[in-house]
Amino acid sequence: MELWLVDRHTDDLKVALRVQRTLFRRQSAYQLVEVVETAGFGRALLLDGVLQITEAEEFCYHEMLVHVPLGFHPRPERVLIVGGGDAGALREVLKHEEVREVDLVEIDQVVIEATRECFPRLAAAFDHPKVRLHVADGAQFIRERRDAYDVILVDSTDPGGPSLPLFTEEFYGRCREALRPEGVLSAQSDSPLFTAEVVRQTYRRLRAVGFPIVEVYVSDAPFYALGPWAFVIGSLRHDPRRVLPERVAGLRTRYYNPEVHRACFALPNFVRDLLSG
């Protein structure tokens, strides 16, 4: 009998992947953590049954979350990743030689254990000498930081459960306080097609907490929404659209490049309408 992983995008839309076997399954204090082997897309991580990554396409999301903000910040020496227990964003941050320290704050130790056991190539980033790994609540962690980071990346799950505080105006305000004078915040913000209100609220909240420059950019995230995926950037000084060639020269990437960087800020009309409404 065939087994299928069914990932529900909305009440009216589901995506299914054929599963060969289950590699990891453990209930944590926060969620059910599973890793399965799919027939066509490699290993896949699920949290409470919701697809987070597959080996075949995770680079699309992680490269765009990371290299857009790091591609225009002139000196991204200290980086904070909130969430990111699959280590994909961490892997991409470490491609930037200018980065001197990375704090990764993941609330769920079991997610880290699943990554170490089932995604060893990704998990290797945890042990890099530049990395400090914290098993902690990101919303609480950020309260204790002031003027500490050049770039903050919010690599959360969809809003709900343990990630819900990471979508609040209070959290974004704390992030702003934790940034240095040229700092940048980049947050994954869901689908402008299927969860439009998340995008709109994230955009408005970053403006409300005092970021002088707030922009939305879109990218592909094939299994997240079968359409564009949104990120919201808050910048304290620099224009996110202006990629610095010296910052991205020599990056080994499969999706991101300077042309994609500039193009991702060209928003479809329905996204422009969403932000202006």
Can you state the angle between helices 269-276 and 196-208, rounded to 10 degrees? 50
Type of residue at 171: F
C-alpha closest to that of 178 among 212, 127, 139: 139
Q: Please indicate whether residue 155 is annotated as part of the active site.
A: yes
* Cβ atoms < 10 Å from Cβ of 185: 26
Task: For 41-90, give the DSSP string.
Answer: S-EEEEETTEEEEETTTHHHHHHHHHHHHHHH-S---EEEEEE-TTSHHH
Q: What Cα–Cα distance (Å) separates residue 81 from each residue in 2, 7, 74, 85, 104? A: 38, 26, 18, 9, 5
CB 231 within 8 A of CB 65: yes
By 3-state DSSP, what share of the chain in percent is helix, strand and coil, each rounded to 5? 35, 30, 30
Contact 106, 133 (CB under 8 A): yes
Report the DSSP pairing between strands 3-10 and 13-27: antiparallel
213-220 and 228-235 strand pairing: antiparallel
Q: Choosing from 48, 155, 158, 220, which is the catalytic residue?
A: 155
Task: Yes or no: say if 21 and 13 are a contact pair by the CB < 8 Å rule.
Answer: no
Catalytic residues: 155
